[in-house]
Amino acid sequence: MARTETTEHDYVVVGAGSAGSVIARRLLDQGHSVHVLEAGPADDDPMISTPQAWPGLLGSDMDWAVPTSPQQHANGRSIVWPRGKVLGGSSSINAMIYIRGHRSDYDSWAYNGCPGWDWDSVLPLFKRSEDHVDGASEWHGAGGPMPVSRIADPHPTAFSFVDAATTLGIPQTDDFNGERMSGVGFNHVTARDGRRMSTWQSFMAPVAGHPGLTVTTGAHAHRVLFDGERAVGVEYAVDGVVHQTRATAEVVLSAGVIGSAHLLLLSGIGPAAQLKEFGIEVRIDLPGVGENLHDHAIVFNVYEATRPLPPGKANLLEAQFFAGTDSSRPGPDLQPLFFHVVYPAESYPVPEHGYTIAPGIVRPLSRGTLRLSSADPEATPLVDPNMLAERYDLEALVDAVEMCREIGAASAFDEWRKAEMAPGPEARTRDDLRAYVRRAVSTYQHQVGTCRMGLDSLSVVDPSLRVHGVPGLRVADASIMPAVPSGNTNAPSIMIGEKASDLILADR
């Protein structure tokens, strides 16, 4: 590959997604120069800004669409993981649900070796980002870069879903990010005036002309550059031409659960035996890189409708509920969703008109790995989440399926329901439902954990997000999460960006 000259900036941020966009903005606001590297294109496709269009973005040129290895406990199936490859990252292709998770998620992080990440410490960071439609309150912020809205005109079937759940004893909640997370209700979304508001549009588009900002799209990061032990830059390629960008202060990896761990491995930071296998010089033997990979798990109960459904006005995913399989647990472990469209269950019939009730678990116990497939920096790594390896995950998901079938059969859906297509009337026993889950389980698109934060021997970054043993290098994205929060991961990733920027600026 041809090479060109090197550029220099205060900071280099790899990845323009949910965390990277926040970090870049906060550093710019303090007068620092920032070079943002993004592997994908600009976010100018009109489908991105249209809240109803997100399913069409999956599998597009703006999606990494990473296949997992065959999943031993899911009938040997490979599951495709959507991951944003565009300015805004996954916040530009997701379904825009704004959920923080339960306070016990973050208290657990702190208890297990990550001081400063407890709920009381991170709530102000969540609020700082927000410009919530309700205004400032105990639970929400106003005036921040990220618009958060209520769904103003929910779909009629979303009302049916909420009504059906309440008849089964699930309480209704007005705000999943408020005092009580458990219950059924309508989502809050990262949209405003009928347009998606990704982190790039919210945090970075308003400062696009900042003299300290350099943005390079189509930039595939190949490795971190070093001067002695210190990280000092990144080598990357654009259209086959290799470039270098130098950071006088720090390099920040915000390339996501796959990209950040992959880049560490390519840079000689990871399990020594694996690096040697691929001929990569070992810079730091850090055995936790690529470990702890996990994801929320979901299946899709599909219903044929009695007639065509009217089009929706929001994000297609307007309602959901949080519940627990065990009332003694501090927070919910189930998060079923409602789609007023058909979201197909793999290998099941797809009706022309219908809707979907999607059982999901949000506190999985199964853990997997990310591994190199090649020393080629543009080769896709091997991702194996080891889904359903833990018996709890299977049983909790079956519990969720049973709850969602009860909701689907409730009288609130009588005018809409023609037939249940998946798992279908032939699924009668719990064993039938276990077989259904193994046949149809999919991704919630909430992968985390491959650069886990902590102080133990398998952690990758410390509680200040500094890579162990590597001065000048941090990781700040969903990969640092010790355990996935019990909810969608976009809002927590934004919070990680806020926290990271505070930590970086404090050291500066």
Helices 430-440 and 391-408: crossing angle, nearest 10°? 100
pLDDT at 467 over 80: yes
Contact at 8 Å (CB) between 451 and 15? no
In this model, does residue 3 exceed pLDDT 70?
no
pLDDT in tens, 387-446: 999 999 999 999 999 999 999 999 999 999 999 999 999 999 999 999 999 999 999 999
Residue with tokens 């004893």: 169
Digit-coded pLDDT (tens) for 50-98: 999 999 999 999 999 999 999 999 999 999 999 999 999 999 999 999 9
Q: Which residues are annotated as a binding site for substrate?
A: 444
Per-residue confidence (pLDDT) for residue 444, from 0 to 100: 94
Q: What is the mean pLDDT of residues 8-25?
A: 98
The pair of three-digit structure tokens given for residue 327, joined into one six-digit string: 């009332």
Judge whether residue 158 has pLDDT over 90.
Answer: yes
Band (508; pLDDT cuts 50, 70, 90): confident
Tens-digit pLDDT profile for residues 121-157: 999 999 999 999 999 999 999 999 999 999 999 999 9
Domains of the chain: 7-44+82-140+206-290+449-507 (3.50.50.60), 152-186+293-447 (3.30.410.40)
Contact status, residue 499 vs residue 125, Cβ threshold 8 Å: yes
Please state whether 197 falls in left (phi above 0), alpha (psi between -120 and 50) or beta: beta
Q: What is the mean pLDDT of residues 184-190?
A: 98
The CA radius of gyration of the chain, in Å to the nearest whole number, is 22
What percentage of the chain reaches a pLDDT higher than 90?
98
Residues 65/82, Cβ–Cβ less than 8 Å = yes
Alpha-carbon torsion angle 409, 415, 416, 418, nearest 10: 70
Tens of pLDDT, residues 343-373:
999 999 999 999 999 999 999 999 999 999 9
The C-alpha atoms of residue 41 and residue 62 are separated, in whole angstroms, by 7
DSSP SS3 for 3: strand
State residue 327's pLDDT score: 87
Angstrom distance (rounded) from CA 314 to CA 252: 34
- Binding-site annotation, residues for FAD: 86
**Average per-residue pLDDT for the chain:** 97
Query: What's the pTM?
Result: 0.98
pLDDT at 2 over 90: no
The residues assigned a catalytic role are 446
Residue 1: predicted pLDDT: 58
